[in-house]
Structure formats: C-alpha cells, structure tokens
Structure 1
Amino acid sequence: MLNTNHAVWRCGNHEISLARPRIMGALNVTPDSFSDGGENLGSEAAVARGLAMLDEGADIIDVGGESTRPGHRPVSPEEEIRRIAPVVRGLVAGGAVVSIDTRHAEVARMGASLGAAIINDVTGFTDPAMVKVAAETDCGCLAMHWDQGGLGSHPAHPGAGRKEVQLDDSRPARPAPVALAVRGGVSQHRFTLPDQAPIMRQIMGFLGDQARVLQRAGVSHDRICLDPGPGFDKFADEDVVIQRATRSMVSMGYPLCTAVSRKRFVGAVAGVDEAALRDAATQGMCIAAVANGSRVLRVHDVAGCAQAVNAYWAVAEKDARQGFVSLGSNVGERVANLTRAVQLIDQIPLTCVANVSHAYETEPAYGISTPVVNCVAEIRTELHPLVLMDHLLKVEDKLGRKRDPNRDPKKPGHTARTIDCDLIWVEGETHQGAKLTLPHPRLGERDYVIVPMEDLMHNPARFLEHGGVRVAERTERVGAVTADLGEIEWA
C-alpha cells in the first residue's frame, strides 16, 4: 500500500476512506425543496437520478423526504416514509451508499432496515429516540448544528432571545453592526464580520457534546461525522465566519461535512439570486473547505463539483494510488494489442505503469467463443477512478474496440474485442455505478486475472481478501489459464 492516511468513516457495511474528498449527492424526494423541488418526486425518477449521480462522481446518495426550505410544510413520519422507502430500496439494490436525511427516529429506523448506511440528522441527535436508533444500528451518524433561536453572535442581534424558524437557507436580515465611534456625525465600524470566537464556541461546543452523547450510547468514534449546519437559522455573515473556521472544526478529530450547496449565503457572496444558478459558487466554497480539511461535500450538482474537486486535488495533493488493470484481447494480433494498450495506459496523465504480468492464453468466458490472451498491469495513478476509467475507454477506442450500444453495462460482455481494459482495483477506493464498480465485482472468480497477478505479487488471494474480495478456488474460477505466452515487451 502506498498511502499512510487510513482515516475512514464507518457506515454500516461500508468503510468510506477519507484519504481524499468524498461527494454526497443530495436527492430531494419532495415537492418543495428550495433548489430542486419536485424534480425527483416520483420514486422511479428519483432512483434513476441517484444512480446517475454515482456515475457523475457521488460516493454517497443523501435521500430526503421533507423539505427544510424557509416556510416549508412539515410532514409526518408516515408521509416521509411513503416518499423515500421505494427510493432507498432501489438505490440500495443498485449498490449505492445511502444516507437518510431526516429528523424523525421512525424514518431513520426504516431507512436502516432497508439498508441505508448513514443517518443524517439536521437536529444533531438531540432527540433521545434518534440516539437510540443510532446505537441500535451500525449506521454512520452525521450530526448537524441547528439552533432555531439563532447564534446571537452580535449584541444587536435581532433574533436574540427569540426563536425564528428559517430552515435550509440564511435568514434574510443582517444584524445591525455595533457603532464603535461617531466621527463627523457618521457611525464608524471596525469589522465587516462578527467575532468568530462566540460563534465557534457555540457550534463546536454543541457538536462536541452531541458526538459524546452518541459515543456514550455506544456509537463508535469512527462512525461520527459533523456538520456546522450552514444556512440553518444563521445570518450570511455568520455562515462566512463558520466556513473560515473549517480548519478549527476539523481539529476536533471527526470527519467534517461541508453542506453549503446553493444556500442563500453562497448566492449573497457571489451575487447570484437564483438557487439553481449557485453551483459554481458552491464549488468555490467546497474547494476552500477541502483545502482546510473537510472531506465530505454535500452538493446538488455532483458532476460539476466532482470536476472542480478532482482538478483541485490533482494539482494540490500528491496522492498516488496503486491500482490494477486487467487487459484482454481475442481479435487480431492479440499480444500486440495488449502491448499497445499497456503503452497507451503509461501515457495517461498522472498515471504510470509500474509492472506488467506475462501474457496468458485463457479459455473463453462469459459467452465469448474464442480463446483470449490476458495480462494484468500494475499502475500508479493520481486520477480519480472515474476519470481514469474514461481514459481507459479512450484506450479501447484507439485500438478499435467495438461496443454494442444495447448491452447492459452491468453484465459481462459477450462479443469479440481487440482490447478490453477493466479497472479492477484501486487502493482505498470502493465505488458502485454503471460505468465503474470497485473492486471489480467478478475479480475473485477470474482465473485470467488471479494467475497474472501472481507475477506481480507473492499472494494475490491474500492481498485481495484483505480488501474484502473473496477469491475462488482455482477449480471454481472461470477463464482458466491454459498457456504462458511470455513477457510483454512494452517499455
């Protein structure tokens, strides 16, 4: 293994590595969400949108059945369950890591029973019933700060001592600043923002207290993630102060979620009134948060955020990962096809080939009618796996790979091909989606992968099983190796 950062967020059966930023796609199954209300209201459309987010770069899908926009209409737990249950069921069946965005214990319990891996509680697990659900499941817990009375960050705070419900967006009014002196009849002010200290004492104190409540109930430290709750009964100025304090919140020792997507304060600082047009500004704030240690980004525009964060990460961080690509050819000069594919992979940006196995003749598998020549290339890459997969598909195109446009991408191919490039494993990465699944779901059953990997390491079965991949016995595998065709001269 190349990396030494082994921080993970444990969520049900999933261990989400936080060695790089993770994207949580917001999927609102409500008619009145502040940024995308009604777009995904039907369960089939919502499931399709959630699965599409996986291919766009989402690591987690956060499903919400109750809007938290200003002036929202609260819904009963029964109505919330009716809205989201089929969506959760469909996304879990599709392999997604699902988060339930709810403040109701009944909804959280239902989600966990259907396979949801995370409980995202906007009230920060202040309800003992929610704490009980967290303790009785193995879900990850996302605890958010929300004080409906406001932060009271300024002596002239208009909401001090008064409860003002303003959900999922910044309160429109700004607190009146304190006049420090009068010169020439004009009030003079010293600061553009309120003092950070009282704001962060309140937020970090609350989040720390709630994390300890969860731990005392039996929730392990590595299941807890924190969210300062931008936009929830907070002024725009206060939200900016909170975002500037990201590094301080990260120092508490828990993963930190940045959930600023399309919020009013984001539009305020960027000059964008319409929520749906605030994605570029959202991405700017997300990159600032990542630079200061936040590792979970909750956004609506997954594709745009993934593009921005991947570009930032590539130039800001040295993050080389070990990976393996399985190559196969059963058309034309098969060994030459493998050789050229390896050479093209070595030319992919931020990627190099470290080693290549021998070429092996193997029995046809998955409906292919002719023998195949296979090898495995060990690589080092600093690209996001989905970005790397796009490059591998381009390698296939350059070598004349023909694809059936009607083929189910989740099923193995049944056609001849000049080259097949399967990204089968990347260090610290798990992913589900139509474009890419990591580790490869059939990795452990393929003799034409396991045998070539023996050229690259002492015991690939033990290596893979340590990462959760079961390797079948030789007699149970498909695509049996029949001949060693020797080294591939690719350098």
Structure 2
Amino acid sequence: MIWHCGQYDFDTSTPLIMGILNVTPDSFSDGGAYLDPEAAVEHGLDMVRAGAAIVDVGGESTRPGATPVTPEEEWNRIGDVVAALVEAGICVSVDTRHAEVATRALHAGASIVNDVSGFRDPAMVEAVRRCGCGCVVMHMKGEPATMQNDPVYEDVVAEVRDYLRDAAAALEAAGVDRSRICVDPGPGFGKTPKQTIELMRNLHEIVHLGYPVMVAVSRKRFVGEAYQVEELHDRDVASAAEALLACELGASVVRTHNVEMTVAALKDLRPAVLLGLGSNVALVAEPGEETEAKIAQLNLAVGHLCSLPDTQIVDMSSFYESEPAYYEDQDAFVNAVVLLRSGLPPKELLGYLHSIENSLGRVRAIENGPRTLDIDILDYQMYVASDDELTLPHPRVTERDFVVKPVLEILPGWELADGTPVGRVPEAERVGKARKI
C-alpha cells in the first residue's frame, strides 16, 4: 500500500519510522530539550541518519493535562525548524491541532499533517483538502487537558475502529484521496493503560479499515505498566518491543523518540504470510451437518498452525462457502484465509503444511479434486519464486473468488509480493464464487 504525502510516496509494506521532535517546554518525555531551533534541527537530522523516514515536529504538548497554546505561539516555536528540515530534504510532518499552524507548515514545505484531534475542525479539513499532503487521523477521547479523567468505553476496540472509519470517510467525502490517509488509534489518549493494551493487542481490527496504521507507543504510560518500567527514559527498550509487536499485527508507521533502538528492534520483524485453507470432504458428519464438519476440520488445521515453530497467527478471515472450481463434479468447499508472521523459510513452511494436510486425511488423487484439507501458501512477503516445488505468489490467487474475498476482508487493498493487487480481477470474472457463512 502506498501512502501519498505530497512529494513523497511511501511503500508501507515495510514499516516506516517517524521520529518525534518536540519543540516544547512541557512535553511529557523531552520537554525543553529542543526549544533552541538549532538543537531541534540537529536532532531531526540525527533521527534521519538513524533511520527515520519522517520527522514529526510539534510545538504544543498534548500530554494529559497539558495547557493549550495559541497557534501563534505554536508556530513561533516550530516555524524555523520546519523550514530548515525541509531545506535539508527531509519529509516533515507537523503535529498540530490548529488549522492555521498546519497551513503555515504546509506552505513552508511540510508533507504531512498529524492531527491528534482527528480532523474534527472543518478549518483543518479545508487546510489539507487540496494540497496533497499526507493526513494522520488520530483517535482521542476528549481534549488533552481532560482526556484522562476516567475515560469509559463499552468496547474500546470497536469504538476506536468505528471513530477512525468515520473520520477517514469524512476526509474522503471532503475531497481527500484515500491514498493520503493514515490512521492512528491514539494509545494513551483518553484511554487507561488497560484500555490501551486491549486496543493494541487487537490492532488487526484497525488494519481491517484498509488504511496505513500508525502507532505512537513510545514511552507511554501503558508501556511502563505493561513492562514494569517506571522511569520514562528507561522505557525505550520496552517501547521498541511494543513497536515490533504492533508491526507484526499490521502497523505501517511507528512514531518514536528513540529511532535507533526502534530500527534495531524492527530488524526482527518476521515476513507476513497468507495461507488459503479449504475443505470439501467431511471426515465425520451427520446428514445435513457437512458444512459444520468442514469448518471443524479447518479449525483443526488452525490448531496445528498454532504449533509451528517461529510462527504466530495474526489474523483469520471468516469462513466462506464456495462453488467448486476447475473440477466441478464435487461438493461445495468451505474456505478461509489465515495471516501469519513466520520466520520459517517458504519451502520449510510448505513441508509443515503438507504434514498438517496429511494428518487430516488429505489424498491427492485428482487434480483440484475433493479433499479433506488443502492449505496453500498464497503470498510470502517480499518473496517471489517459481520452480517445480513452489511458486510464489500463488499463480491463481487473483482469479479465485474464494481467496480474494477472505483476503480483502482482513487486508483491504493488499498487494502480493510481486506488486499485483489481490482484487485485480473483477468479481464477475473470478472462479469459485464464494459467500460468507
């Protein structure tokens, strides 16, 4: 997925690092450290040298209980810094809630507006509508001064997801192209540590929205509580670990204070792997319960996948019932797609998958014929190959309705490792028509 940010187009298939540059006297972590413009610019350059693709410049603290500043004061703090970093050829993001500041920053060459208030202000929407900049839409319950005053949710994951969906849709309706939008669930903004952990462990629900997802977990209170690290500056290791976990769950952008440590942590990010599961022969089923039996067999296969070495299931689609494809004289299939993160090389993974198939009675008698279980590697991130044993991406992914629909359910807009969009073939032209069960 490409995130369009002015003159910059970022491929989010591998995570981007956004370095935090607070030009404030009162930010929760580094307030006052970079008030001097020269020191701020040098720190921004240091972060880029350490691996940041973007520098996020902020002139107003949005920590819990922070006192608001006027747009004029905010711009006085960051204006020279933004201009100098742009002049140095750096992609600059401006972290602001104020349309006036965003407009001035964009005129100075900033490429991204990161709005913690989620573009609630129509003036902010107008500021970004026509300029082509990237837009980060964040969820925050309330305002910084009051957001931690007993935040209450019935379902924090669903409420944040729905808020971001609606806020992004409103931007699109105003004329902002979808490819310019990134969403941020706002860990710690109007959320208790427990609520934030619940949200971050279910980040795939935000990924389902189909936008790049940014996570800003650096030195947050929930990190301190989850990893039992009290001092802010001692939380960098834990923050980097949390960033890695978020990226395994699908985050595309990591906003961080410690770029070097985050870059090092993300070297351990395992490739994303998509598996297609199917069954149309029920081993044990009462009459009329064949579909339930096929689902049970796929669930057994998922259980086996959970035991694979250096592998974690990240997400799974709904179950779909599909018409037979290619060899039509057979029963309907039940299909699903599973998203893994795996350190297993593709052919080694394939060997494990064949063992799982065999353990559940797979017989390879007729090509594309009936089977108790079929597990295909559909896509293996950044791996393209073709030989007698394995072809990746799977050559028939885009023509199969029973693959395309479940993939797009969990990964809207997904592109295969060779750059082919999963949804390239129109639904009417696909084989194996599928419906969600």
- Which digits, 9 at most, give the CA deviation of each residue in 1:421-453, with x for residues without a partner? xxxxxx9xxxxxxxxxxxxxxxxxxxxxxxxxx
For residues 19 and 111 of structure 2, the distance between their equivalents in structure 1, rounded to whole angstroms, comes to: 14
- Which digits, 9 at most, give the CA deviation of each residue in 1:332-361, with x for residues without a partner? xxxxxxxxxxxxxxxxxxxxxxxxxxxxxx
Give the aligned partner of residue 192 of structure 2: 235
**Contact 1:92–1:116 (CA under 8 A) maintained in structure 2:** yes
For residues 15 and 245 of structure 1, the distance between their equivalents in structure 2, rounded to whole angstroms, comes to: 28
Q: Which of 228, 246, 263 is the matching residue for 1:289?
A: 246
For residues 246 and 58 of structure 2, the distance between their equivalents in structure 1, rounded to whole angstroms, comes to: 24
**Contact 1:172–1:235 (CA under 8 A) maintained in structure 2:** no
Give the aligned partner of residue 116 of structure 2: 122
Give the aligned partner of residue 73 of structure 1: 67
For residues 250 and 174 of structure 1, the distance between their equivalents in structure 2, rounded to whole angstroms, comes to: 24
Give the aligned partner of residue 35 of structure 2: 41
Q: Which of 183, 197, 221 is the matching residue for 1:226?
A: 183
The question of 1:256 aligning with 2:256 is answered no
1:166 Cα deviation from its structure 2 partner: 4.4
Q: TM-score w.r.t. structure 1 length?
A: 0.54
TM alignment of 1:122-161, pairs within 5 A: 122-148=116-142
Q: Partner of 1:284: helix, strand, or coil?
A: helix
CA-based RMSD of the aligned residues comes to 1.9
Give the aligned partner of residue 202 of structure 1: 159
**Contact 2:151–2:190 (CA under 8 A) maintained in structure 1:** no
1:70 Cα deviation from its structure 2 partner: 2.6
Q: Partner of 1:119: helix, strand, or coil?
A: strand
For residues 73 and 149 of structure 2, the distance between their equivalents in structure 1, rounded to whole angstroms, comes to: 30
Partner amino acid for 2:231? E
**Contact 1:100–1:118 (CA under 8 A) maintained in structure 2:** yes
Give the aligned partner of residue 44 of structure 2: 50
Which protein has the larger Cα radius of gyration, Structure 1 or Structure 2? 1
For residues 73 and 211 of structure 1, the distance between their equivalents in structure 2, rounded to whole angstroms, comes to: 27
TM alignment of 1:382-421, pairs within 5 A: none
Give the aligned partner of residue 104 of structure 2: 110
For residues 151 and 111 of structure 2, the distance between their equivalents in structure 1, rounded to whole angstroms, comes to: 38
Give the aligned partner of residue 324 of structure 1: none
Give the aligned partner of residue 424 of structure 1: none
For residues 250 and 208 of structure 2, the distance between their equivalents in structure 1, rounded to whole angstroms, comes to: 9
TM alignment of 1:300-449, pairs within 5 A: 300-310=257-267, 312-313=268-269, 316=271
Alpha carbons of 1:47 and 1:26: their partners in 2 closer, same or farther (altered >3 Å)? same
For residues 96 and 268 of structure 1, the distance between their equivalents in structure 2, rounded to whole angstroms, comes to: 34
Q: TM-score w.r.t. structure 2 length?
A: 0.60
**Contact 1:125–1:131 (CA under 8 A) maintained in structure 2:** yes
For residues 173 and 125 of structure 1, the distance between their equivalents in structure 2, rounded to whole angstroms, comes to: 24
For residues 87 and 101 of structure 2, the distance between their equivalents in structure 1, rounded to whole angstroms, comes to: 19
**Contact 1:145–1:206 (CA under 8 A) maintained in structure 2:** yes
Q: Partner of 1:206: helix, strand, or coil?
A: helix
For residues 20 and 205 of structure 1, the distance between their equivalents in structure 2, rounded to whole angstroms, comes to: 25
The question of 1:274 aligning with 2:231 is answered yes
Q: Give unmatched runs, 5+ long, in structure 1.
A: 1-6, 150-163, 176-193, 319-426, 428-491
1:173 Cα deviation from its structure 2 partner: 7.1
- Which digits, 9 at most, give the CA deviation of each residue in 1:220-245, with x for residues without a partner? 00000000111111111100010011
For residues 209 and 88 of structure 1, the distance between their equivalents in structure 2, rounded to whole angstroms, comes to: 30
Give the aligned partner of residue 338 of structure 2: none
- Which digits, 9 at most, give the CA deviation of each residue in 1:96-124, with x for residues without a partner? 10000000000000010000000000000
For residues 70 and 238 of structure 1, the distance between their equivalents in structure 2, rounded to whole angstroms, comes to: 16
Q: Partner of 1:90: helix, strand, or coil?
A: helix
**Contact 1:124–1:146 (CA under 8 A) maintained in structure 2:** yes
**Contact 1:123–1:144 (CA under 8 A) maintained in structure 2:** yes
**Contact 1:33–1:67 (CA under 8 A) maintained in structure 2:** yes
- Which digits, 9 at most, give the CA deviation of each residue in 1:345-398, with x for residues without a partner? xxxxxxxxxxxxxxxxxxxxxxxxxxxxxxxxxxxxxxxxxxxxxxxxxxxxxx
Please identify runs of 4+ aligned residues in structure 1 that moved more than 2 A. 164-167, 171-175, 315-318
**Contact 2:141–2:151 (CA under 8 A) maintained in structure 1:** no
1:136 Cα deviation from its structure 2 partner: 2.7
For residues 140 and 271 of structure 2, the distance between their equivalents in structure 1, rounded to whole angstroms, comes to: 33
1:316 Cα deviation from its structure 2 partner: 4.2
The question of 1:244 aligning with 2:244 is answered no
Give the aligned partner of residue 470 of structure 1: none
For residues 18 and 158 of structure 2, the distance between their equivalents in structure 1, rounded to whole angstroms, comes to: 27
The question of 1:96 aligning with 2:90 is answered yes
Alpha carbons of 1:165 and 1:73: their partners in 2 closer, same or farther (altered >3 Å)? closer
Q: Partner of 2:157: helix, strand, or coil?
A: helix
Partner amino acid for 1:248? E
Q: Partner of 1:282: helix, strand, or coil?
A: helix
Q: Partner of 2:210: helix, strand, or coil?
A: coil
For residues 298 and 41 of structure 1, the distance between their equivalents in structure 2, rounded to whole angstroms, comes to: 20
Q: Partner of 1:39: helix, strand, or coil?
A: coil
1:71 Cα deviation from its structure 2 partner: 2.7
Partner amino acid for 2:69? V
1:165 Cα deviation from its structure 2 partner: 3.5
Alpha carbons of 1:172 and 1:299: their partners in 2 closer, same or farther (altered >3 Å)? farther
**Contact 1:262–1:276 (CA under 8 A) maintained in structure 2:** yes
Q: Identity over the aligned pairs, expressed in percent?
A: 45
Partner amino acid for 1:66? E
For residues 132 and 207 of structure 2, the distance between their equivalents in structure 1, rounded to whole angstroms, comes to: 23
For residues 136 and 142 of structure 1, the distance between their equivalents in structure 2, rounded to whole angstroms, comes to: 15
1:251 Cα deviation from its structure 2 partner: 1.0
